[in-house]
Each structure stands twice: as C-alpha cells, then as structure tokens.
Amino acid sequence: MNTKKIYIIDATIIAGTLLTLIVSMLYIGYVNPLVIAPSDNFETMNTSVLFSFENAGEILIDDNPEFSSPEKINAKDNLIVRLVPGTYYWKVRGEMKSETRKLTVLSEIGLKLKSTGENSYEVVNSGNTALNVEVYENETLIDKIALKADESKNSSGTKFIGGEKDE
C-alpha cells in the first residue's frame, strides 16, 4: 500500500515538473525567436541585407505592416537576402512569431562612363536601382538606354543624362 502512494506522489511530482518546464519555456522565452539584425527602422543603400536570428525557421518580408502578401523564406540562422530599394516590414517565425521590424533600402543612383574611344563609352549603372539614360550628340537626343543595377552598355555621344527608371 505504501509503495502505491509513493508511485502516485512520484508521478505527480514528475508531471508537475514537466508542466512547469513547458510553461516556463513558453513564457520565459526559450522558444521565442531571438531577432538580432537588422535593427528596427534600419536604413541602408546596400541591397544585400543580412538577417540574423535564432529559434526560427522562416522569415516573412512584406511591403506593408499587415503582411497581406508576405514573401516567405525558409532559413535557419543568418541569411543574406537581396532586396530592391523600398520599405519593408519583416519578422521571423519559429514556434512563435517575433516582433515586426521595419527596414528601408534607399535608392542609390550612380552613372559612370568608361571611354572606349573618341566619343565612345561604356555606360555603367553603378547604383542599386534601374536607370534610364539619354544620350546626346551635342544638343540632339540620339539614343535612350535602359540599364538595370550593375549593368553596362556601349554608346557614342557627347552628353549622357541618367535618372531613376519609372517602374
């Protein structure tokens, strides 16, 4: 009879300990995702953004804070994601979701010319956003070039004017 009582007491202690452990894991944060980077309201001109986190397996990225159409990226800790210039909201999801953070990739416009001969140039988009470039011979428009980020094309002219491409 005493052995039966001891087993009941042992089972009660074990069940109570397990229940306490599970509840403390949920409420103390052992299963909550730990978001490290980028920080909230982060701004950069670099289109390759490092996401650093723990206890999560998926990043949700959207252009609105309601996450109505998020891009879901399966990942473990630390992942570099290439983003076009714009404002994004993101969070990670594991057993639970993290807080929502905001990040902005700023547009950087850069146009370089490399001479390839007399009035002949390699036109290089050195920024992170698409460009429209107008090519002039003196004051006459002779060509229009569309360049993606890091793209180049050859052209001849005396004046090159570039601006951000309208999407």
Give the confidence band of 49 by pLDDT, cuts at 50, 70, 90. Answer: very high
- Locus of tokens 């730990």: 34
- Check pLDDT > 70 for residue 142: yes
Tell me the three state secondary structure of residue 21: helix
**Average of per-residue pLDDT across 14-19:** 83
| DSSP 8-state symbol, 59 | E
Residue 31 has pLDDT above 80, yes or no: no
Could you give the percent of the chain with pLDDT greater than 90? Answer: 43
> What pLDDT, on the 0 to 100 scale, is given for residue 23?
67
Q: How far apart are CA 128 and CA 141, in angstroms?
A: 25
Is residue 44 predicted with pLDDT exceeding 90?
A: yes
Mean pLDDT of the chain: 86
Its pTM stands at: 0.67
- Give the pLDDT of residue 163: 84
